[in-house]
Chains A and B, each alone.
Chain A
């Protein structure tokens, strides 16, 4: 749904995007990258708010540079900042924005109601935005982004300012929207764990280029080893396992075993049983998103 080839964007002598090549398809995609790496610029190009200097960009089948109006009509966008007009009620704001996205009045009214209930603001929907907490504002922004049933939803730091429980709720809400409701979602985020939790695919931008793109499952390739945690006698376990011919290392209270073959699992099980210690954790450990992301030293 977003297709970029060789997209370049410069601001004066600074090159913000040095040649973006990426295909972003259906599902929930995470957009990661350092501050200043080009994420915001890329989003502004996708929205057709800025023009690119070179390359091709297709969003929902059209070029945002020439068909910006048509493209933006089918996109829902929730910006990072929390500035919302103070006086309007949640309902007024969301309905107005739904109409701004070309929904006829009646449909806008109905869908605003639905959207606000969906994000959990049913009871608060007639309250002025100025009286709302950060958590509620984030949900208002989300409701505004989806009320007009867009094909693509762009969310910029949707969990900013939310406490841990609100964060979990927001993430599962977004996941629901992305999977059940048929909207493609692109989340720009600084939180690797969040992206890992709810995204199907990931795009990592660094230095104005895409350095990684693909499904999460694909990026985190096969298991590199087994992580083991026991409640005591860790040192002895390490020796025992090493004695059985496994590569073992200990790090921060955990034991890492190179998983060469399925036998490694049994060897671990038997060693633990022999020692008579409590097995707290046994997990295959592939590359995490963090490994992939931070592996990109410039």
Chain B
């Protein structure tokens, strides 16, 4: 409405006739949102503390290794931390991170009515889990893939890296290790988190699930001579062992478990991932989210 230079605007409701995204957008949006939440982005400083500390712990060996190499300058490859070693070294940090992230990603939604709100939009339970799983996986990759890539890049830049011919193979190895390890921890942590709505309980549960069977199995094998295959139930073991196998390295201070074929180890990892995902899926299928 105009009269000369004067204009009166209608502040009433505006319908939306712009473009709308496809349903997959909801999955992506939720995944991104979850990544931000678990890392404490967009939240107060105190939510960033634990993730930051864990990240720091995970990157420390890499930083140390690179710094050492740079300072000492003439260093043999064997003196540096091997890529295969890395997952073993930061095993605790991996467990801690998983115990931090997965409960934060899954539990609050069930505690508040948020899950119901999500499911009343263009999401179903499977897509919801895909979004959450992707988020947890992506964040885990930060410390399973990140430090390795960082080391590689740093060594390359400093001139210690492998030649151009070996680079593609190394990258593939790093990728395989990073993804497999992240998948394993993510799946286990999410499975535990799907069983309780209390974050703290889930976190403790994740830690227990990762370390208790490992210790029990170790004790069983060493004392009563139980079969080595039992080691497949130990998550830190399978993850680290797979890393060693991928890189063709052997751990320094432990007897290599050569009786287990690489396929078996890989199978162990795959089975654990599948089991975790299945538990999650079954649990969410049965949840009464609509009240």
Contacts and interface: CB of A to CB of B under 8 A. Distances in A.
Given A49-B120, A97-B117, A102-B122, A73 B23 contact: yes
A73 B16 contact: no
Given A79-B113, A144-B117, A180-B13, 12 more contacts: A47-B120, A47-B290, A72-B123, A79-B120, A100-B123, A102-B21, A102-B122, A103-B21, A104-B19, A114-B13, A148-B16, A181-B13
Interface residues of A, number: 41
Nearest to A68: B124
B11 to A, nearest CB: 9
A102 B22 CA distance: 7
Nearest to A43: B290
Nearest to B33: A96
B274 to A, nearest CB: 26
Interface string B117-137: 111111110010000000000
B112 A181 contact: no
A77 interface: yes
B291 A102 contact: no
Contacts of B18: 104, 107
Interface of A: 40, 44, 47, 49-50, 68-70, 72-73, 75, 77, 79-87, 92, 96-97, 99-104, 107, 111, 114, 118, 144, 148-149, 177, 180-182
Contacts of A144: 117
A104 to B, nearest CB: 6
Interface string B261-291: 0000000000000000000000000000111
A102 B113 contact: no
Given A84-B114, A85-B112, A107 B122 contact: no
B43 interface: yes
Contact of B117 (A79, A82, A104, A114): A79
A103 B20 contact: yes
B29 A182 contact: no
Nearest to B109: A85
B16 A107 contact: yes
Nearest to B42: A92
B26 interface: yes
- Secondary structure dominating the interface of B: loop
A83 B113 CA distance: 5
A85 B114 contact: yes
B113 A72 contact: no
Interface string B3-22: 00000000011111011111
A101 B119 CA distance: 11
Nearest to B123: A100
A49 B119 contact: yes
B25 interface: yes
Contacts of B113: 79, 81-84
A79 B291 contact: yes
Nearest to A80: B291
Contacts of B108: 85
A240 B26 CA distance: 72
20 contacts: A47-B120, A47-B290, A49-B119, A49-B290, A68-B124, A72-B120, A73-B121, A73-B122, A79-B113, A79-B117, A79-B291, A83-B113, A84-B113, A85-B114, A100-B30, A100-B118, A101-B121, A102-B21, A104-B20, A114-B14
A236 B16 CA distance: 63
B16 A100 contact: no
B262 to A, nearest CB: 41
B38 to A, nearest CB: 13
B209 to A, nearest CB: 27
Contacts of A180: 12-13
A3 B12 CA distance: 31
A160 to B, nearest CB: 13
B106 to A, nearest CB: 13
Nearest to B111: A83
B33 to A, nearest CB: 6
Nearest to A71: B122
A102 B119 contact: no
The 6 closest A-B pairs by CB, nearest first: A83-B113, A149-B16, A73-B122, A102-B21, A77-B120, A100-B121
A87 B13 contact: no
A169 to B, nearest CB: 17
Residue among A47, A99, A104, A111 facing the most chain B CB atoms (10 A cut-off): A99
B105 to A, nearest CB: 13
B43 A87 contact: yes
A52 to B, nearest CB: 14
Contacts of A69: 23, 122-124, 127
Contacts of B15: 149, 181-182
Contacts of A40: 290-291
Nearest to A141: B117
Contacts of A82: 113
B21 A44 contact: no
Interface core residue of A75, A101, A107, A111 (most chain B CB under 10 Å): A101
A149 B16 CA distance: 6
